[in-house]
Structure 1
């Protein structure tokens, strides 16, 4: 678990664009590799093809926040006012240390503050057990197609 004294959650800033993009790419290409084929990983992560400006624009368009240990960004997430989590990714080197738990707790707090009655997310096969341990239930499997390649994920919900 992340030590409270050495880590915290803060708002995403433009200075976090490179770190969050690197975490996203590594989490998909490394952490999700046990559950998805190389072709699926490639169309999902698009390593080397995403530009910093576009990434930052997307991150700033959501209520994004980062988990920081020391000066290092180790994970990130977001949550809409209705309680939808679009992204939650953790640096593979920080997996199993409570970063996802801290990010989901932050998302839950923000969703409650806006009056949302639930959290919802489209969760990868890899992340499903983490979300389930934290009180989410799988509503249904889904198939997302990117460049003709199908990827399975799950719509998950947690009542607040």
Structure 2
């Protein structure tokens, strides 16, 4: 009798070969998991998806000062994260079928570790309403409005 249990995904730096799958995960996550963030704003979904294409993902992969991560299981890419050199987390999305299985947590841990290793004392991110509870449960707090890069729900966490 064989027993299959969930194992944390492998989180690694993305390659250009990952662009199609990563774009698919980004789009599916936004469409299926983030309705709270676009349902009451006509046109918001189309704006949000506009740069979630394979060609944009390829550009992010090759962009200086930005690292795109993928979470991978035996069936392929199940999560996508992005971090810039200033310690700002710019992406953390999971395939809807892999939600609540540790994928976003694994990506977040990898990005926090990378930010710390790059010499950042904290990390910040702009959270969706959908993900706010997730980040707050992991120690993120509201960033003061005068420190936020632009309007939105900006959260921060000290990297100790």
**What SS does the corresponding residue of 2:123 show, helix, strand or coil?**
strand
2:6, 2:124 → 1: CA distance? 24
| Greater share of strand | 1
CA offset digits 1:27-72 (Å, max 9, x no partner) = 11110013422632222113xx754223311233121111111141
Q: 2:103 is matched with which residue?
A: 99
- Equivalent of residue 92 in structure 2, options 82, 88, 110: 88
- Equivalent of residue 22 in structure 1, options 21, 24, 43: 24
The TM-score normalised by the length of structure 2 is 0.82
Q: Is the 8 A contact 1:81 1:114 kept in 2?
A: yes
Structure 2 regions of 5+ residues with no counterpart?
none
Post-superposition offset of 1:140:
5.7
1:128, 1:2 → 2: CA distance? 25
Count of aligned residue pairs for this structure pair = 148
- Equivalent of residue 69 in structure 1, options 73, 79, 93: 73
2:53, 2:104 → 1: CA distance? 25
2:158, 2:6 → 1: CA distance? 25
Q: 2:153 is matched with which residue?
A: 154
The TM-score normalised by the length of structure 1 is 0.82
CA offset digits 1:69-125 (Å, max 9, x no partner) = 114100011222321111111111111001111011001110111110001011111
Q: 1:59 is matched with which residue?
A: 61
Distance change in 2, residues 1:157/1:3 (3 Å) = same
Give the 4+ runs in structure 1 shifted more than 3 A: none
**CA RMSD, 1 decimal:** 2.3
